[in-house]
């Protein structure tokens, strides 16, 4: 997708339609509005790993297209803060895992300058982190203050029933039928974080396509067993 200034790709599944928004309805509505061109400062979203922060930022950029840019700091930190240069030319800048460079003076000054440039240009900033702005570890007080002015949302984790519903939503988005009993089986017999569950669902999708099988419990049991022996 051409909104990336670096050779990165947005995940095909990372769209609003495949994200279960239970408990996060206001956040998702805010992000969808920003992606659609609604005016505003942007926002800061934080939460534990595997709660969907990356999914949501990529969904924003996928919806906004060339008006936006997605920057995963965790993957690009070694490139240095110079990668922020020129990003304020976009209407919408999405920075994922910004707290990974908190405490680094060069990155913090570059982030502060980007915030000011976006304000001057009328752009918006969407940031994700593992904590709220004042707990993110920034040493530059002006940057912490600037980030704290953004509307802050905590990404709420899904409960047991919601995890099953999220798996079924992702499956439908991929053109798969995931019966209730199979979804429950997956939750009982695999790692319970959503990133691992989605990875397993991707594998099941591929195996089901190869074998021309439905996602029944016996089929899923066989795939998981083979996976454990690999």
Q: Identify the pLDDT of residue 4.
A: 40
Q: Identify the pLDDT of residue 137.
A: 97
Q: Identify the pLDDT of residue 180.
A: 96
Q: Residue 82 is inside which H or E element, if any?
A: none
Q: Identify the pLDDT of residue 190.
A: 87
Q: Identify the pLDDT of residue 131.
A: 98
Query: What is the total residue count of the chain?
Result: 230
Cα angle 34, 36, 42; round to 5: 10
pLDDT < 50 positions in the chain: 1-5, 7
Tell me the domains of the chain and their CATH numbers.
16-154 (3.40.50.300), 160-229 (1.10.8.60)
Cα angle 172, 153, 105; round to 5: 115
């Amino acid at each position: 997708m051409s909104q990336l200034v670096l050779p990165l790709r947005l995940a095909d599944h990372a769209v609003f339609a495949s994200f279960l928004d239970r408990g996060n309805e206001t956040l998702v509505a805010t992000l969808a509005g920003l992606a659609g061109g609604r005016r505003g400062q942007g926002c800061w979203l934080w939460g534990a790993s595997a709660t969907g922060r990356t999914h949501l930022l990529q969904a924003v950029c996928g919806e906004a297209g060339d008006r936006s840019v997605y920057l995963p700091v965790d993957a690009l930190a070694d490139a240095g803060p110079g990668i922020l240069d020129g990003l304020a030319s976009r209407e919408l800048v999405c920075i994922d895992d910004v707290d990974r460079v908190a405490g680094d003076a060069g990155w913090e000054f570059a982030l502060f300058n980007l915030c000011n440039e976006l304000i001057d240009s009328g752009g918006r900033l969407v940031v994700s982190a593992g904590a709220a702005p004042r707990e993110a570890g920034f040493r530059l007080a002006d940057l912490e203050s600037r980030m704290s002015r953004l509307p802050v949302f905590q990404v709420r984790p899904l409960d047991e029933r919601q995890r099953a519903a999220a798996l079924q939503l992702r499956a439908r988005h991929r053109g798969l039928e995931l019966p209730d009993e199979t979804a429950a089986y997956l939750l009982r017999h695999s790692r319970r974080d959503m990133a691992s569950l989605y990875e397993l669902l991707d594998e099941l999708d591929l195996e089901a396509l190869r074998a021309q099988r439905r996602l029944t419990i016996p089929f899923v049991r066989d795939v998981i067993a083979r996976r454990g022996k690999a």
